[in-house]
Structure 1
C-alpha cells in the first residue's frame, strides 16, 4: 500500500475547486481550473510555468480574482471582450474619471467596431496597421452613421447631412486623434502582456508617425495688456488676471480654496482641480499629474485683486443670506456654488468680444503666460515649475517656436557685436593667437 509521500507530485489529489496541476511532455507544468468569465459564466483556463509551484501560483491568483467577482479574460477571447474587461476592472482603478470616459469612447467608437472580432491571441501588427490605414481614409460620418438618424424636418443645423443624403462630407480623423486611438490600444495590450495572456504588444510594432503639435494662439504683450484692462471691474477680474499672470489651468483656478492661498506671503498651493464628470457631476479631483501639485508665487497685483475679490464675496454672502452655499472655493457663483467650467468659458469669450480681441481658447492664456515669460528671458526650468509640467522636455517641445525666435534674436545680437568689432579703431592690441593645448 502506497503512502502519500510515495505518490508522484503530478498525481497528488487537490481539493475540489482548486484545479489540476501536472507536468507536460515538454517538461513545462500546466495548471487548469474553472474561473468566472464575462457574461456571468464559468470556463476552464490553463496557465503554464517552469515549475509546479509557479504554475500553481498563477492558477491560484486567477481563482482568487475570480472569487472576488472579477471575470477572467484569456487570449482565446475576442479583443472586444478583453477591452471591456480592461476598462471595467483595470483602467478604472488607474485613470482619472475624465480620462477613463475618453478611453471608453475610443473603445466603443473605434476599437471594437474595427478590431473587436479578432481573438486577442491572433491579433497581429498587420491587423492593427490595416485598421489604422482604414481610419485615415474612411469618412467617420458614413462609418458611424452620425447623420443617418436625424429628423429631415428639424432645424437647418440638425438636418441630415453626409451619408444620409448621399453626399459624403469626407470627414477624416486628424493625426492627433489617430495617435490617441493607437495609444489606447497600446495601453490595453500592455496590460495583457503583464498578465502573460499574450507574449508581446503587437500595437507597439506599428508606427503612426509623429503628429504635428496642436497650434495655439497666445496673446502678444499688447493684447495681454488690453485683456487685463478690459477685465477691470468684471466680476471674475481676479480669476482672469490670475490665469494670465500665473498660467494656471482652468480646472486648477476653479478648484482653488481660500485655504490654499497665503496672501500675506503671496503664495498659492495647487492641490486639486474642478471638473465636470459623468458619474459625480461637478467634482473636485486630484491634479492632472503629481508634478501639477505645486506651490507658486503670486504677483503683487494678483494679491491685491484677490483681497478685493474676497471682500466682494463676503458682501455677496451677506446678500444671499440662507441661500449661500459655503463651498470654500475662491471663485464661486453669487450663491456660493462652484463655477461650471463651461460657464467660465462663456464669460471669457464675452470678455474677448468686449475687448475686441481675436477669439482664442481659455487654455491659450496659459500658453500666453509661458510665451511672454520666455520672451522676457526667463529660464525654461522656472517656467516648467510654474506651469507644473511633468518634464522639462514637455515645456521645451510645446514652446519650440518661441525658443527658435529667441535664438534668432541672440544670433542677430552676436552678429551686431562681431560687426562692431570689425569696425573698431583700436589698432594697438596685439593680434589674437591660439593658446597652447596642454
Structure 2
C-alpha cells in the first residue's frame, strides 16, 4: 500500500484548474495549465523552471493574470514583422500621408535595426530602455553607415567621431512611435501590456524660436506693401494662421461683411498626391475667427487684384476657388511661399526666420499686450490650453517678471518728495524715532 509520504512530488494531485507540475527527463520542472487566449478562448500554456517551486510560481502568475481577464500573448513573430504589419495595415488608414511617411522613416531607420530581431511577446521595458540609451549616446553618422558611404571617411572610420547624436526631441518622437505601435498590439490582444509606456525618457525642451518684435513686424508689413501676397502676410501676422490654413482658404470661407473667416481645411504637398487639400490638423483647428479691419480691407483689394489677373490670363486661368493663388489661378505650393517669404525678409533686412515663426510672433505680441491665454488658444486653434501655456511659457515668465518689477516700484513709493502737512497739522507727541 502506497502512503502519501511515498508519493513522488511530481505525482501529487492538484485541484481542478490549477494545472499540472512535473519533472522532465532533463531535470527541469514543467508546469502546464489552461489560460485565457485572444478571442475569448482558452489555451494550454507551458512554463519551465529549475525547481518545482519556480515552475509553479510562473504558472500561478499566468493563471492569476488570466483570471483578471488578461489574455496570454499570441504574438510569436518579431518586432520588425509587427511594425511592418502595423504600418501597412493600421497606421496607413489612421495617419495623414506626411505623418505616415515620417513614421515609416522612423521605423526603418531606428526601430527595426535596434529592436526588430526581438520577439514581440518577449519585449521588455529593459530592452526598450537599453536601446534608447544606446541611441542617445551613439554617433548616428557611423551607426547608419553614413561615414562608410563617403568617398573620404572623416568620422569614426578614422578615429575622429563627429558626435552626431540624436536630439532629445528626436528621441522622444521615436519613443512615441514605438508606444503607438505597441498600444495597437495591446488593443488587438497580441501582447498583455505596452512595455514602452513604462520607460521614461524625460520631457525634452521645446524648440527655441525667435518671434518678431513689434518693430520688426511693422517693418515686414511695410516692405510687403505692393507685393501680390501682401494680404497673406498681413493675415498671417494678425491671426496666427498656419501656412497650410492660409493657402487652403477659399473665398466661400470668408465673410468680409461680418469680418470673419472659417478655417475648415489645410493645403499640403504629399508624395503621392502632390498639392492636396486636407481637413484641419485637429478638430480644434476647425474654427471661426474674427478678422481685423485692416485685414478685411487688404482682402478686398486682393480680390480685385485677383479678378484683374483672371481677366489677363483669359483661358489660361484655372479656377480653384482659393483666396491665394498663382497668377494663373492655381493653388500656391507651400515651398514657393517659403521662398517668397525668405526673399521678403532679405528685402526688409530682417533676420531669417521660419514662416511658422509668424504664428509664434502673433501669440507673443498678443501675450505682451495682455490678451488672455484662453483667447489666444481659440485664435491659434490649439486642442488644449496646456499646449498654448507650454509653448509660450517663456513669454509668460517675462510678463511675470515685468509685473513683479512694477509692483516693487509701487511698493517702494516716492523717495525724493515728502508729503506736506496742512497748516496746524502738528505731529502728535511720541517717543524718539527708531532708526
TM-score (norm 2): 0.79
After the TM superposition, which of the residue ranges 166-175 and 403-412 deviates more from structure 2? 166-175
CA offsets 1:351-403 (integer angstroms, 9 cap, x no match): 00000001111000000000000000000000000000000011011111111
CA offsets 1:18-60 (integer angstroms, 9 cap, x no match): xxxxxx954754279xxxxxxxxxxxxxxx9989xx99xx9xx
Structure number with bigger Rg: 2
Equivalent residue, structure 2, for 1:252: 245
1:254–1:339 contact (8 Å) kept in structure 2:
yes
**Distance 1:424-1:81 versus aligned 2 partners, 3 A rule:** farther
**Distance 1:424-1:387 versus aligned 2 partners, 3 A rule:** farther
- Between the aligned partners of 1:323 and 1:27, the Cα distance in structure 2 is 70
2:74–2:189 contact (8 Å) kept in structure 1:
no
**Dislocated runs of 4+, deviation >6 Å:** 48-51, 421-424
1:251 to partner: Cα distance: 0.5
Q: Please tell me whether residue 365 in structure 1 is matched to residue 377 in structure 2.
A: no
2:35–2:43 contact (8 Å) kept in structure 1:
no
Paired residue secondary structure (1:93): helix
Equivalent residue, structure 1, for 2:103: 103
1:190 to partner: Cα distance: 0.7
1:145–1:163 contact (8 Å) kept in structure 2:
no
- Between the aligned partners of 2:187 and 2:94, the Cα distance in structure 1 is 15
Q: 2:198 aligned to 176, 199, 205, which one?
A: 205
1:146 to partner: Cα distance: 2.9
1:75 to partner: Cα distance: 1.3
- Between the aligned partners of 1:180 and 1:135, the Cα distance in structure 2 is 13
**Distance 1:25-1:211 versus aligned 2 partners, 3 A rule:** closer
2:268–2:334 contact (8 Å) kept in structure 1:
yes
- Between the aligned partners of 1:269 and 1:406, the Cα distance in structure 2 is 32
Q: Please tell me whether residue 388 in structure 1 is matched to residue 381 in structure 2.
A: yes
Equivalent residue, structure 1, for 2:261: 268
Q: Please tell me whether residue 30 in structure 1 is matched to residue 69 in structure 2.
A: no
2:141–2:147 contact (8 Å) kept in structure 1:
yes
Q: Please tell me whether residue 133 in structure 1 is matched to residue 130 in structure 2.
A: no
- Between the aligned partners of 1:363 and 1:117, the Cα distance in structure 2 is 40
- Between the aligned partners of 1:145 and 1:96, the Cα distance in structure 2 is 30
Report how many aligned residue pairs link the two structures.
365
Q: Please tell me whether residue 338 in structure 1 is matched to residue 335 in structure 2.
A: no
1:271–1:286 contact (8 Å) kept in structure 2:
yes
Paired residue secondary structure (2:413): helix
Equivalent residue, structure 1, for 2:407: 414
Q: Describe how 1:173-322 pairs up with structure 2 within 5 A.
A: 173-322=166-315
**Distance 1:316-1:161 versus aligned 2 partners, 3 A rule:** farther
Paired residue secondary structure (1:284): strand
TM-score (norm 1): 0.78
- Between the aligned partners of 1:426 and 1:391, the Cα distance in structure 2 is 55
Paired residue secondary structure (1:242): helix
1:289–1:390 contact (8 Å) kept in structure 2:
yes
1:416 to partner: Cα distance: 2.1
- CA RMSD in angstroms comes to 2.5
1:148–1:163 contact (8 Å) kept in structure 2:
no
